[in-house]
Structure 1
Amino acid sequence: MSLSYWMTEPPVSFPGSPPSEVDVAVLGGGIAGITTAHLLKQAGLTVALVEAGELAAGVSGHTTAKITAQHGAIYHRLRSSYSPAVAAAYAGSQRLAIEWIFSERERLGVECALSRQDNFLYAEDESRARELVAEAEAAAAAGLDAAHVSETDLPYRVAGAVRLSGQAQFHPRKWLLGLASEIPGDGSHVVTGSRARALAEGTPHVVTTETGEIRADHVVVTTHHPVFDRGLFFPRLRPVRDLVVASVIEAGSGPAGMYLADDTGHSVRTTPHEDGKDLLIVGGEGHPVDEGATVAHRFRRLAAWARSRFGVGDPDYHWMAHDLTTPDSLPYIGRFHPATRSVWVATGFAHWGMSNGTLAGLLLRDLITGVHNPLAELYDPLRLTLKQSLPELVKTNAHVASRLVGDRLAAVVHGKVDGLAPGTSIVTTEGARPVAAYRTEGGELHKLSARCTHLGCLVAFNDGDRTWDCPCHGSRFGIDGSVVQGPAVRPLRRLE
Structure 2
Amino acid sequence: MDSVPGPAYDTAGPDAEVETDVAVVGGGIAGLCTAWELARAGESVVVLEADRIAAGVTGYTTAKASALQGLAYSRIRDAHGPEATALYARSQLNAVEHTAALSGVLGVDADLERASAFTYAETAEAADAVRAEARAAGEAGLDVHLINDPADLPFPMVAAVCLPEQLQFHPRKFLLALAQRFTADGGRIYERSRVTGLHDGARCRLTTESGATVQARDVVIATHYPVFDRSLLFARLSPRRELVVAAPVPADQAPQGMYITTESNTRSLRTTPYGEGQRLLIVTGESFTPGSAAVEERFARLQHWAEERLPGFRDATVHYRWAAQDNDSDDHLPYIGPAHPGSRHVHVATGFGGWGMTNGVLAGRLLTALITGGPKPEWAELLDPRRLPPLSRTGALLKVQAEVGRHFIGDRLRTTHVDAVTDIEPGQGAVVRIEGRRCAVYREPSGAAHAVSARCTHLGCLVHFNDAERTWDCPCHGSRFATDGSVLHGPAVRPLEPRSLPAPPSSTDER
Q: State the AA in 1 paired with 2:283.
A: V
Q: State the AA in 1 paired with 2:326.
A: D
1:326 to 326, 329, 342: 329
**Which 5+ residue runs of structure 2 have no aligned equivalent?**
501-511
Shift of 1:261: 1.2
Per-residue CA shift, 1:106-131, capped at 9, x if unaligned? 11111110111000000001123233
SS in 1 for 2:263: coil
Shift of 1:12: 2.3
Q: State the AA in 2 paired with 1:82.
A: H
Does structure 1 residue 290 correspond to structure 2 residue 285? no
Does structure 1 residue 389 correspond to structure 2 residue 393? yes
Does structure 1 residue 125 correspond to structure 2 residue 123? yes
Shift of 1:78: 2.3
Q: Is the 8 A contact 2:200 2:345 kept in 1?
A: no
SS in 2 for 1:163: strand
Q: Is the 8 A contact 1:268 1:281 kept in 2?
A: yes
Taking the aligned partners of 2:353 and 2:114, their CA distance within structure 1 comes to 22
Shift of 1:289: 1.8
Does structure 1 residue 9 correspond to structure 2 residue 39? no
Query: Percent identity between the aligned chains?
Result: 47
Aligned counterpart, 2:496: 492
Per-residue CA shift, 1:28-67, capped at 9, x if unaligned? 0111001000110011100000101011111111111110
Q: State the AA in 2 paired with 1:415.
A: D
1:58 to 56, 59, 63: 56
SS in 2 for 1:461: strand
Shift of 1:309: 0.8
Bigger drift between 439-448 and 14-23 goes to: 14-23
Does structure 1 residue 420 correspond to structure 2 residue 419? no
Q: State the AA in 2 paired with 1:355.
A: T
Q: Is the 8 A contact 1:22 1:187 kept in 2?
A: no
Does structure 1 residue 315 correspond to structure 2 residue 318? yes
2:46 to 42, 45, 48: 48
Taking the aligned partners of 2:171 and 2:28, their CA distance within structure 1 comes to 10
SS in 2 for 1:182: helix
Shift of 1:185: 4.6
Per-residue CA shift, 1:284-333, capped at 9, x if unaligned? 11111233x51111011111111111132442100101011111010110
Bigger drift between 74-83 and 113-122 goes to: 74-83
Bigger drift between 14-23 and 343-352 goes to: 14-23
Aligned counterpart, 1:272: 273
Q: Is the 8 A contact 2:202 2:345 kept in 1?
A: no
State TM-score, norm by structure 1: 0.96
Q: Is the 8 A contact 1:469 1:476 kept in 2?
A: yes
Aligned counterpart, 2:22: 24
Bigger drift between 276-285 and 72-81 goes to: 72-81
Taking the aligned partners of 2:476 and 2:444, their CA distance within structure 1 comes to 26
Taking the aligned partners of 2:116 and 2:185, their CA distance within structure 1 comes to 40
Shift of 1:427: 0.6
CA RMSD of aligned residues (A): 1.5
Taking the aligned partners of 1:444 and 1:336, their CA distance within structure 2 comes to 44
Shift of 1:444: 2.5
Aligned counterpart, 1:3: none
Show the 5 A alignment for 1:83-232.
Answer: 83-152=81-150, 153-185=152-184, 187-211=186-210, 212-232=212-232
Q: State the AA in 1 paired with 2:4.
A: E
Per-residue CA shift, 1:252-311, capped at 9, x if unaligned? 3111100001323100111101233110000111111233x5111101111111111113
Q: Is the 8 A contact 2:417 2:430 kept in 1?
A: no
Q: State the AA in 1 paired with 2:249.
A: I
Taking the aligned partners of 2:206 and 2:495, their CA distance within structure 1 comes to 19
Query: Runs of at least 4 residues of structure 1 off by over 4 A?
Result: none
Q: State the AA in 2 paired with 1:406.
A: G
Shift of 1:189: 0.3
Taking the aligned partners of 1:350 and 1:168, their CA distance within structure 2 comes to 18
Cα separation, partners in 2 of 1:421 and 1:130, compared to 1, 3 Å: closer
SS in 1 for 2:248: strand
Aligned counterpart, 1:255: 255
Taking the aligned partners of 1:268 and 1:201, their CA distance within structure 2 comes to 42
Taking the aligned partners of 1:203 and 1:363, their CA distance within structure 2 comes to 21
**Which 5+ residue runs of structure 1 have no aligned equivalent?**
1-5
Shift of 1:84: 1.5
Aligned counterpart, 1:352: 355
Taking the aligned partners of 1:339 and 1:413, their CA distance within structure 2 comes to 43
Shift of 1:413: 5.9
State TM-score, norm by structure 2: 0.93
Q: Is the 8 A contact 1:247 1:316 kept in 2?
A: yes
Aligned counterpart, 1:379: 383
Q: State the AA in 1 paired with 2:189.
A: V
SS in 2 for 1:378: coil
Cα separation, partners in 2 of 1:202 and 1:130, compared to 1, 3 Å: closer
Per-residue CA shift, 1:192-229, capped at 9, x if unaligned? 01100101122311111134111000000011111121
Q: Is the 8 A contact 2:417 2:431 kept in 1?
A: no
Bigger drift between 182-191 and 345-354 goes to: 182-191
Show the 5 A alignment for 1:458-473.
Answer: 458-473=462-477
Q: State the AA in 2 paired with 1:206.
A: R
Per-residue CA shift, 1:446-484, capped at 9, x if unaligned? 201000000000001111211101000011100110011
Show the 5 A alignment for 1:363-374.
Answer: 363-373=366-376, 374=378
Taking the aligned partners of 1:280 and 1:23, their CA distance within structure 2 comes to 43
Aligned counterpart, 1:235: 235
Show the 5 A alignment for 1:59-78.
Answer: 59-78=57-76
Per-residue CA shift, 1:345-365, capped at 9, x if unaligned? 000111110011111111101
Taking the aligned partners of 1:19 and 1:49, their CA distance within structure 2 comes to 14
Taking the aligned partners of 2:128 and 2:185, their CA distance within structure 1 comes to 56
Q: Is the 8 A contact 2:79 2:331 kept in 1?
A: no
Taking the aligned partners of 1:339 and 1:227, their CA distance within structure 2 comes to 18
